[in-house]
Structure 1
Amino acid sequence: MGNTVFIPAATVAEQIKPALGRIQGHITAGSLKRPRIHSGQKGPARNIGAEWEVPLVHVRTGLPAWGTNGTIIGGVAEEAWRSTDPVSLQMELGSNLVEANFRPRPLELGTFTGMRAEMEGILGLLNRSCGHHGLAVVSTGILPTLATGKLNEGNFSAKPRYAVLTNALEQYLGARIRSGTIECGGEELPIGWCVATEIANTSIQFHEEVA
């Protein structure tokens, strides 16, 4: 893989802990009230949830594990059902991507500590399911082993909504989306006529419930 840096799955939880720790340190019950006051929102604290998108890779090569997210999610669902521990996973746009949805909880002191524990539990379930198929989870913004030529509709997850979204964008934007490019590390990446470039983007997002 040349100079590609591959992040072992075993280090994922340790990478995430400091970020959540910093968030926990900066957020207090008092500071969370101020944005609501300024925006005219009053009343009790809302709930907060999160979604976490992670790529699946082949352990031996570090390359994206295309077409595997349904299998891995199925394995997690079976284990979670046996343990009666609810977990919400779904297939993301790329067929090598899994999205985990965290349980909503009150936004207060200790919230992010609980979310970190939930994240570690989800990671454990994913890793166990991946282990049966020679796969691993890598938590990173853009997977270093992802080739631009793989960002195409052929690597979409098997969910109708992604094809519908692509068709809708093509009809709405027409030639404007077909002629666009993105510069990435000195290389121009064609946007093309679909949303396939979104396959390269993974993140963890925190969402606060608002009125």
Structure 2
Amino acid sequence: MGDEITTHTFSREQRQRYREKVRRCLDVFEDMLGSHHFADAPSRSGLEIELNLVDAQYQPAMRNAQVLDEIADPAFQTELARYNIELNVPPAELPGESVLELEQRLRKHLNVAEERAGKHGIAIAMIGILPTLRPEHLTGNWMSANPRYQALEEAVFAARREDLDLDISGPEPLRMTTGTIAPESACTSVQLHLQVSPNEFAAHWNAAQLLAGPQLALGANSPYLFGKQLWAETRTELFLQATDTRSPELRNQGVRPPVFFGDGWITSIFDLFEENVRFFPALLPECTDEDPEAELAAGRTPRLQELRLHNGTVYRWNRPIYDVVDGEAHLRVENRVLPAGPTVVDILANAAFYYGALEMLAREERPAWTRISFAAAHGNFTNGARDGVEAQMYWPGYGEVPWDELVLRHLLPLAAEGLALRGVSPSVIDRYLPIIEGRCKWRRNGAWWQTETVAALERRGLDRTEALTEMLRHYLDGMHSNEPVHTWEVPA
């Protein structure tokens, strides 16, 4: 959800003071990187899952406040719209059988939440974009009660000074204009966190950027928006356009958007934070009373809240994280590439693949990113999101290759080796990586199942609205089964 703020309006003086404070924080952060004021990085990972709420007719249920009161678990929090909630899973060690234990905890959390939401006639849908969402659902009182969200919306439109244009290609292209950031709420994701040491951060971030394309081809689960079939993972393009602070003229000048893949490979985490400060205007310029230089000089760990808040409004697909826990600073790579769902076991298979392959790519003596242009990695990202199971990737040593061949021949063996190096139990590897193998061999992911199911239902005579609703009903049955999505049957 991001750091909380106390107001949604800011003066010019506040903005100027905030800019100066962020630059001071950046200088202190640079000093900290040079003097190693960071916690050791264990094999620890964290997880966040964004969720949708639907009513008995499988339409968005704008009642997250009531549902969260009923769930009464601090692990669940609000998200942008009143039909969204988020589940935050505390960091856990990767070695041994901890991922198997995590699967059980996740299922228990979600089952309890589902049962309590059911008291209000509401169900939970773990899916990249809710297929029954329509533009009319995002009018009126759609936004969750949180000053951060209102401030973000006001900041986006203050920067643009005009409405947002959505223009997304695909089999059924979408073009529309909106006066709110409400369409952003359609984007529900899984976020994977990995704590790393400062000297290992650049290698892990670069490796994560390389993996983004294959991750999307494997995990795409968002083919429908407002009734139209668009990209396999429409969420990535929608998120880019629905939060774009740039006017068309600024886009033509090459100004960076807040949703940002990146410009190039890095040598230090400082490169990313410096880029944030230099190129991205503040959206939430709220200052604290902390004196970061004095805190560091006194031997305490500064929170650098202004730098953290600013970083939270630059939506990199692999975001650098500076955080302080129990007085110790640490760094994380936050992977934001994947959509939510389809099942808990699919999510953890995606996570196992990512963590294992990341480990090996970051360790290579001659890293793959030294043999591929950054533009090619970005192209893989776009291809994976747009084309899903039909995507082609470029990879050093393989050239242009189908995504499934790349994963089966190269990345999946790396993932198994990387997990073993991290001390992950063979029982974990044997549970989750065969799911990735199955998706590759069958060339099926969540987006494939959704589009095939809707097509089958339309052949039965259902119109698009009816087909999407019926598809979502089948989807929720599959979600609760916890059987991998590549094994789900398409209705005859």
TM-score normalised by structure 1 residue count = 0.66
Distance 1:158 1:139, change over 3 A: same
Distance 1:184 1:126, change over 3 A: farther
Distance 1:143 1:174, change over 3 A: same
| CA-atom RMSD in angstroms | 2.5
Total equivalences in the alignment? 160
Alignment of 1:60-139 (within 5 A): 61-66=57-62, 68-77=63-72, 80=73, 87-139=74-126
Match of 2:55 among 54, 58, 64: 58
Match of 1:156 among 143, 152, 163: 143
- 1:185 shift after superposition: 5.2
Distance in 1, Cα, partners of 2:164 & 2:53: 29
Distance in 2, Cα, partners of 1:193 & 1:209: 38
- 1:43 shift after superposition: 5.6
Distance in 1, Cα, partners of 2:171 & 2:67: 32
- Residue number in structure 1 paired with 2:444: none
Q: Deviations over 1:188-209 (max 9, x none)?
A: 2435343211111112221112
Q: Deviations over 1:155-179 (max 9, x none)?
A: 111112111001111122333x634
Distance in 1, Cα, partners of 2:83 & 2:113: 13
Higher Cα Rg, which structure: 2
Taking only the aligned residue pairs, the percentage that are identical comes to 28
Distance in 1, Cα, partners of 2:99 & 2:140: 36
Q: Is 2:194 the partner of 1:208?
A: yes
Moved over 4 A (4+): none
Q: Deviations over 1:76-101 (max 9, x none)?
A: 11xx5xxxxxx411111110111010
- 1:151 shift after superposition: 3.3
Amino acid at match of 1:73: L
Distance 1:197 1:158, change over 3 A: same
Amino acid at match of 1:63: Q
Which is further off, 154-163 or 108-117? 108-117
Match of 1:181 among 167, 176, 179: 167
8 Å Cα contact 1:55/1:97 also seen in 2:
yes
- 1:111 shift after superposition: 3.3
Amino acid at match of 2:192: F
Q: In structure 1, the residue corresponding to 2:178 is in which secondary structure?
A: coil
Distance in 2, Cα, partners of 1:152 & 1:209: 39
8 Å Cα contact 1:102/1:118 also seen in 2:
no
Distance 1:108 1:144, change over 3 A: same
8 Å Cα contact 1:151/1:200 also seen in 2:
no
Structure 1 stretches of 5 or more lacking a match?
1-41, 81-86
8 Å Cα contact 2:129/2:186 also seen in 1:
yes
Q: In structure 2, the residue corresponding to 1:209 is in which secondary structure?
A: strand
Structure 2 stretches of 5 or more lacking a match?
1-38, 197-330, 332-492
- Residue number in structure 2 paired with 1:146: 133
Which is further off, 146-155 or 112-121? 146-155
Q: In structure 2, the residue corresponding to 1:103 is in which secondary structure?
A: strand
Q: Going by fraction, where is helix more abundant, 1 or 2?
A: 2
- Residue number in structure 2 paired with 1:192: 178
Amino acid at match of 2:70: G
- Residue number in structure 1 paired with 2:442: none
- 1:152 shift after superposition: 4.5
Distance in 2, Cα, partners of 1:206 & 1:153: 33
Distance 1:199 1:45, change over 3 A: same
- Residue number in structure 1 paired with 2:443: none
8 Å Cα contact 1:48/1:104 also seen in 2:
yes
Distance 1:189 1:88, change over 3 A: farther
Amino acid at match of 1:159: N
- Residue number in structure 2 paired with 1:48: 45
Distance in 2, Cα, partners of 1:137 & 1:91: 14
Amino acid at match of 2:50: E
Which is further off, 130-139 or 201-210? 201-210
**Structure with higher RCO (Cα < 8 A, 6+ apart):** 1
Distance 1:148 1:187, change over 3 A: farther
